[in-house]
Amino acid sequence: MPALVAAEPALVTASYGRHYLVRPAQTGGELIAVSRGKRTDACVGDVVSIRRTGEGQAVIESISPRRNQILRSDQWRSKLLAANVDQVGVVLAGDPPFSEELLLRILCAASVAGVPVALIANKIDLGEAHAAIRARLDACRALGLPVFEIAARGSASRVRDTLRGWLERRTTLLVGQSGMGKSTLVNTLVPDADLRTQAISTALATGRHTTTFTRLFDLPEAVATDARLIDTPGFQTFGIAHLSASQLAHAMPEFAPLLGRCRFNDCTHRGEPGCAVRAATEAGNIDARRFQLYGRLVEETLSAPSRPRP
């Protein structure tokens, strides 16, 4: 009877359905791995225990406890984007105009996960379009969000210089709605990203070409020291059904000094009398647009029949 192959730790570096790429901690390189049974609960950034099953192949036996996890969800299911990240970068632009509601959804999900966020305002070379979103970027800055302004199609060295200090010694999850130029930015930061993506696509999709998967890149030392970038597919929706109304309120930094000051302890800050948050908004101390979007998200959360478990 053959000896049982010992389990070993590995990092999940790409995921597509039930197929993963994992990097063993001791030997390096990457293996194609599958999860046990029908489980699909591993994600990029996970530290896992694997057991090799053949040449270049392995099975994921278990997942180590996560420092954090970023996910999106609707009332039926949740989708893990990444785990064990140090920060999130949201790529947005003025052409096409970014969705402020989509941005707020991402900010709330990251806040509840305890992960800091920075905005990467791309396409600043499109002067008129960028000027159109400047006021909204300033509103985010006023809340303490870092905002980096770049032109990913412009000077690669300038983009790298702008982001280097923020990226160094961190694992960054890069997200953004479709059309914001995120893929161009990834190729600027990881010069061989397209070739590596094609190779990963072939490995994970067993011969079928796909680019709709999440993958981790080690950034070149010349770009940023000891830095990793997790790239996700672009999206047009970002469900946050896993968040409660209370979590949404606490994810709004401008609400923080006012929480607990409303007339009712269970105030949702929509139409209740004696609401300190609404009063502050009417007085011009809270951005009216963000308050409106917050109300929309709370209404969605409270009207949902149930919330999925992360």
Q: Which residues are annotated as a binding site for GTP?
A: 122-125, 176-184
- Distance (Å, rounded) from C-alpha 97 to C-alpha 111? 24
Helix (H, G, I), strand (E, B) or coil at 245: helix
- Distance (Å, rounded) from C-alpha 148 to C-alpha 123? 11
Which residue ranges are tagged as binding site for Zn(2+)?
A: 262, 267, 269, 275
Q: Which tokens go with 69?
A: 């996890």
DSSP secondary structure letters along 203-238: HHTTT-----SEEEEEPPTTT-TT-EEEE---BS--
Q: How big is the CA angle at 71 (ends 100 and 41), to the nearest 5 degrees? A: 160
Amino acid at 88: V
Q: Which tokens go with 89?
A: 């970068």
- Distance (Å, rounded) from C-alpha 121 to C-alpha 100? 13
- Distance (Å, rounded) from C-alpha 52 to C-alpha 71? 29
First to last CA, the chain: 41
Amino acid at 60: I
Alpha helices in the chain (DSSP H): 100-113, 127-142, 156-167, 182-189, 193-204, 245-250, 276-282, 288-303
- Distance (Å, rounded) from C-alpha 186 to C-alpha 121? 14
Which residue ranges are tagged as binding site?
A: 122-125, 176-184, 262, 267, 269, 275
Q: How big is the CA angle at 255 (ends 249 and 256), to the nearest 5 degrees? A: 95
DSSP, res 197: H
Q: How big is the CA angle at 255 (ends 249 and 257), to the nearest 5 degrees? A: 130
SS3 content of the chain, % helix, strand, coil (to 5): 30, 25, 45
